Chains A and B, each alone.
Chain A
Amino acid sequence: MVLGLVEGAELTFLRRSLGGDPLEVRIYGAAISLRDEQARRFHVMPNGRAG
């Protein structure tokens, strides 16, 4: 949360790691790694913008 995964933040999905977990997402230019079990707790809506 202190890294900014909060309601209203825009993020870009980049890739999955070896074995499909964890995920790498970019949030306002900063890449962070997120385990599957944590990623499941978030609601993500597509906003149609690329990058």
Chain B
Amino acid sequence: MAAPAEIAVPLERVGVRRSAAGTVAVVGNPNAGKSSVFNRLTGLRQHTANYPGVTVERRIGRGTFGGVSLDLIDLPGTYSLSPTSADEQIAVDVLFGRVAGTPRPEAILAVIDSTRLYQGLYLLQQLIDLGRPMIVALTMIDAAEREGRKIDFGGLQEALGGVPVFPIVATSGRGFVALNEALARVLTLPPPREAVHWPELRRAADMLVAQWRAAGVELHRVEAERLLIDVNAVPGALVPQAAADIAAARADLFGADPPLAAEARQRYAWVRATLARVESPGSGVVTQAAKLVDWINRPWPSTVLFVALMAIVFQAVFAWATPVVDLIDAGVSGIGSMIAAVLPDGMLESFVVDGAIAGVGSVIVFLPQILILFLFIILMEDTGYLARAAFLVDRAMRTVGLSGQSVIPLLSSFACAVPSIMATRVIPNRRDRIATILAAPFMTCSARLPVYALLIGAFVPVRSVGIFNLQGLVLFGLYAIGIVGGVATAWLLRSSMLRGQNPTFILALPEFRLPNVRTVAMKLLDRVRVFLGRAGTVIFAVAVVVWALAYFPRSPDVEAAQGAAAAEAAASLTGETLEERLAQIENQAAADHLAQSWLGRAGQWVEPVFRPLGWDWRISAAVIAGFPAREVVVAVLGTIYAVGGEADEETLAGRLSAAQHPDGSPVYTLPMVLGLLLFYAWCLQCAATLAVIRRETNSWRWPVFAWSYMTALGYGGALLIYQLGTP
């Protein structure tokens, strides 16, 4: 009786597989609630990828409206059709159908914040000129009502050439029934009534279209207008005399005026006139909530709030995540030993337990912290706090050549550089963004802490310095030196390779609002997917490669020696003493294997390079193993010094302090350890970070530069300390 049940599947569900009737672009100002509208309209039926060649996310979702199936494209937020960033460029290119693999949208759904109609109308006027069927969703109508704004929807529709206007609240779903009905008919809507707002521009654009048509190139009228106004506009195709045509028309239209300023003057004159007709501004009654927000936004309360929020984020990332991290750690090694018990000793066991399972473990062990960090970053974006934080610290950040928007990414990198580099997308200026990306890996991330803890605990004496402990001071110094390195790097870059001012740093400050659970959850899912896809695969691959380097080649001599020693012990010892002796023999064998493995040999080969830093081949091998992922260093040191890969820090520390150079002098002197710590503080030992820099800058140039620069810096610093400190 299964057949009738299948027939009963509602048509909407089947609709997913049908091709959509058309494509609708979802366009709006940044922070207008576009993503919330998009998510509500498409549900989970969406698909995220990057646009070809850029790091802008392309989100397409399928929605069914009264039986009509439509593909919705969530375009990056933009204030106008004059792009000033990669994100805005994509929004404009998609609208004109200039992006390969993305269909030219047949209709437009404009999402406008009803409390920011002033800037919304500017974009709307440009969108109307495109002459495509269009619908306007006025979001956050509840906030506008609270402010006492009265909007004449009929008048607005009239001013927009007949484009229907729908007041909605994306968080509660208010107004979506009407919006859905309108979307069902959107493809057959008549285009907006044509209105000539700027006759001179229109004439010049029509002339250009006619001239180019004669030369065989088809151009949309609005595209021609953009070519005339935007200095950096890129049309789909060019005619040979393009530059001359454009220059001539421009000189005619604007004279010596900057075209963009002329456009803003023209269009905003219309915006002000329209606004005066259709909106009566707030009644002037200030609510208690508004008073509170106004007070919080003052410099000092705002500073206190910023510090408190950051304290909470750090507390959450480091303290709240710890139990989960410990649980994962225990779980992974538990599964490892369970499998080890089942599999026979040998290569397969070692590969599964020390390679594959440990590799997966090293990815998921980061997840709790990463999830919490992503969640806070998304919440700050969604509530509008990010812009406030940028406003607060802009002045301070500018003294080091960055901008206020760099502050959250940089603070995030104290937990992990990967999400922090992904969070730099909010920085519109490319130079600021790259400087921030290159400064981020300097901050002391959570993977550096185990190495710091081990070396400080073992070699920095517990001594009071005033009210402080020397160990604590050294740890503090390492954090400080990371910050100094990052800030100095940003400053150097901004005054050399990335020199240049951002002439139009004007930041919109959105009102605080409650985050939308659905939007936050979807963004979180998206970013975790990127983390697992980009960083996770790299971390896993690296774990397996390092395992192989440390495992191969196997030496029969070592195994024979181990067998002989074990047999001898079994003959002469019993009970607990025997167990202890066997464990010792096994650890010694592991150390001997590692010494003649590819990794051990590599350590011996490069030892001369690190000799001036006071390192022996063991430290060199551990450092090499740590280049793809710095956190493996502790485990490698444990194996090399024959105390087992999971030895506790005390045992390992004891073994380390006994280590000697061939001439009998101790390896781990204070200058050498301080140098090694500095090396860790400044070196970019993280393949996942490099992979994310590659993805976010879309070139190999920056990861290569960051790696070489930071390695040189770490080496130089360690060399200096060791040579100065060693008599």
Asked if A47 lies at the interface with its beta carbon under 8 angstroms from chain B, I say no
Asked if A48 lies at the interface with its beta carbon under 8 angstroms from chain B, I say no
Max chain B Cβ within 10 angstroms of own Cβ: one of A1, A20, A38: A1
Q: B479 CB to closest chain A CB, in angstroms?
A: 23
Q: Which residues of A sit under 8 angstroms from B404, Cβ to Cβ?
A: 22
Find residues 1-35 in chain A having any chain B CB closer than 8 Å to their own CB: 1-9, 14-22, 24, 27-35
Find residues 468-518 in chain B having any chain A CB closer than 8 Å to their own CB: 504-511
User: Are B395's CB and A29's CB within 8 A?
Assistant: no
Given A29-B149, A30-B116, A38-B505, residue A9 in contact with residue B268 (CB < 8 A): yes
Q: Which residues of B sit under 8 angstroms from A46, Cβ to Cβ?
A: none
Q: Which residues of A sit under 8 angstroms from B269, Cβ to Cβ?
A: 6, 8
In Å, the complex CA distance between A35 and B404 comes to: 11
Given A1-B264, A9-B272, A29-B116, residue A16 in contact with residue B297 (CB < 8 A): no
B285-319 CB mask vs A (1 if < 8 Å, else 0) is: 00000000000011100110000000000000000
Find the B residue at minimum CB distance from A35: B505
User: Are A17's CB and B395's CB within 8 A?
Assistant: yes
Choose one: B84, B117, B265, B303; the contact of A6 (CB below 8 Å): B265
In Å, the complex CA distance between A51 and B394 comes to: 26
User: Are A38's CB and B504's CB within 8 A?
Assistant: yes
Interface size class of B (residues with CB under 8 A): 35 or more
Choose one: A1, A9, A16; the contact of B261 (CB below 8 Å): A1
Which stretch (B213-221, B385-393, B528-536, B682-690) binds chain A?
B385-393
In Å, the complex CA distance between A51 and B505 comes to: 25
In Å, the complex CA distance between A33 and B275 comes to: 22
Q: Which residues of B sit under 8 angstroms from A31, Cβ to Cβ?
A: 508-511
In Å, the complex CA distance between A27 and B509 comes to: 11
User: Are B509's CB and A3's CB within 8 A?
Assistant: no
User: Are B118's CB and A20's CB within 8 A?
Assistant: no
User: Are A20's CB and B395's CB within 8 A?
Assistant: yes
Find residues 269-291 in chain B having any chain A CB closer than 8 Å to their own CB: 269, 271-272, 275, 281-282, 284
Find the A residue at minimum CB distance from B298: A15
Asked if B79 lies at the interface with its beta carbon under 8 angstroms from chain A, I say yes
Q: Which residues of A sit under 8 angstroms from B115, Cβ to Cβ?
A: 29-30
Q: Which residues of B sit under 8 angstroms from A1, Cβ to Cβ?
A: 260-261, 264, 504
Choose one: B84, B275, B298, B507; the contact of A28 (CB below 8 Å): B275
Find the A residue at minimum CB distance from B264: A1
Given A1-B261, A21-B395, A22-B394, residue A28 in contact with residue B118 (CB < 8 A): yes
User: Are A2's CB and B80's CB within 8 A?
Assistant: yes
User: Are B506's CB and A38's CB within 8 A?
Assistant: yes
In Å, the complex CA distance between A3 and B119 comes to: 6
In Å, the complex CA distance between A4 and B119 comes to: 7
Q: Which residues of B sit under 8 angstroms from A35, Cβ to Cβ?
A: 394, 505-506
User: Are A18's CB and B392's CB within 8 A?
Assistant: yes
User: Are B391's CB and A24's CB within 8 A?
Assistant: yes
User: Are B508's CB and A21's CB within 8 A?
Assistant: no
Given A6-B268, A19-B396, A20-B395, residue A32 in contact with residue B506 (CB < 8 A): yes
Find the A residue at minimum CB distance from B281: A29
Interface size class of A (residues with CB under 8 A): 20 to 34
Choose one: A8, A16, A18, A33; the contact of B509 (CB below 8 Å): A33
In Å, the complex CA distance between A12 and B73 comes to: 36
Find the A residue at minimum CB distance from B260: A1
Q: Which residues of A sit under 8 angstroms from B119, Cβ to Cβ?
A: 2-4, 30
Given A29-B282, A35-B505, residue A2 in contact with residue B391 (CB < 8 A): no
User: Are A22's CB and B391's CB within 8 A?
Assistant: yes
Find the B residue at minimum CB distance from A15: B298
User: Are B297's CB and A15's CB within 8 A?
Assistant: yes
Given A2-B82, A9-B268, residue A18 in contact with residue B118 (CB < 8 A): no
Q: Which residues of B sit under 8 angstroms from A51, Cβ to Cβ?
A: 284
Q: Which residues of A sit under 8 angstroms from B547, Cβ to Cβ?
A: none
Q: A8 CB to closest chain B CB, in angstroms?
A: 7
User: Are A19's CB and B395's CB within 8 A?
Assistant: yes
Find the B residue at minimum CB distance from A20: B395
Q: Which residues of B sit under 8 angstroms from A9, Cβ to Cβ?
A: 268, 272
Q: B269 CB to closest chain A CB, in angstroms?
A: 7
Choose one: B84, B265, B394, B511; the contact of A17 (CB below 8 Å): B394
Given A28-B118, A28-B275, A29-B281, residue A4 in contact with residue B264 (CB < 8 A): yes
Asked if B57 lies at the interface with its beta carbon under 8 angstroms from chain A, I say no
In Å, the complex CA distance between A28 and B121 comes to: 12
Q: Which residues of B sit under 8 angstroms from A38, Cβ to Cβ?
A: 504-506
Q: Which residues of A sit under 8 angstroms from B505, Cβ to Cβ?
A: 35, 38
Find the A residue at minimum CB distance from B300: A18
In Å, the complex CA distance between A14 and B118 comes to: 18
Find the B residue at minimum CB distance from A23: B391
User: Are A15's CB and B261's CB within 8 A?
Assistant: no
Asked if B147 lies at the interface with its beta carbon under 8 angstroms from chain A, I say yes
Q: Which residues of A sit under 8 angstroms from B617, Cβ to Cβ?
A: none
Q: A20 CB to closest chain B CB, in angstroms?
A: 7
Given A2-B80, A28-B275, residue A17 in contact with residue B264 (CB < 8 A): no
Asked if B122 lies at the interface with its beta carbon under 8 angstroms from chain A, I say yes
In Å, the complex CA distance between A5 and B505 comes to: 13
B202-240 CB mask vs A (1 if < 8 Å, else 0) is: 000000000000000000000000000000000000000
In Å, the complex CA distance between A34 and B237 comes to: 37
In Å, the complex CA distance between A7 and B302 comes to: 32
In Å, the complex CA distance between A31 and B392 comes to: 14
User: Are B118's CB and A16's CB within 8 A?
Assistant: no
User: Are A8's CB and B272's CB within 8 A?
Assistant: yes
Q: A16 CB to closest chain B CB, in angstroms?
A: 7
In Å, the complex CA distance between A51 and B694 comes to: 48
Q: A39 CB to closest chain B CB, in angstroms?
A: 10
Choose one: A15, A28, A32; the contact of B508 (CB below 8 Å): A32
User: Are A29's CB and B396's CB within 8 A?
Assistant: no
Max chain A Cβ within 10 angstroms of own Cβ: one of B79, B117, B268, B508: B268
Q: A40 CB to closest chain B CB, in angstroms?
A: 13
Max chain B Cβ within 10 angstroms of own Cβ: one of A2, A18, A30: A2
User: Are B508's CB and A30's CB within 8 A?
Assistant: yes
Q: Which residues of A sit under 8 angstroms from B147, Cβ to Cβ?
A: 29
Choose one: B84, B118, B303; the contact of A27 (CB below 8 Å): B118
In Å, the complex CA distance between A3 and B509 comes to: 11
User: Are B299's CB and A18's CB within 8 A?
Assistant: yes
User: Are B395's CB and A22's CB within 8 A?
Assistant: yes
Q: Which residues of B sit under 8 angstroms from A16, Cβ to Cβ?
A: 299
Find the B residue at minimum CB distance from A32: B508
User: Are A33's CB and B118's CB within 8 A?
Assistant: no
User: Are A2's CB and B395's CB within 8 A?
Assistant: no
Identify 9 residue pairs between A and B in the complex whose beta-carbon atoms are under 8 Å apart, listed by A's number. Answer: A1-B261, A2-B119, A8-B268, A8-B272, A18-B395, A22-B395, A24-B509, A29-B281, A32-B508
Residues of A within 8 A of B (CB): 1-9, 14-22, 24, 27-35, 38, 51
Known contacts A28-B281, A30-B116; 15 additional CB pairs below 8 A are A2-B82, A5-B506, A8-B269, A9-B268, A9-B272, A15-B297, A19-B396, A21-B394, A22-B404, A24-B297, A24-B391, A28-B118, A29-B282, A30-B119, A33-B507
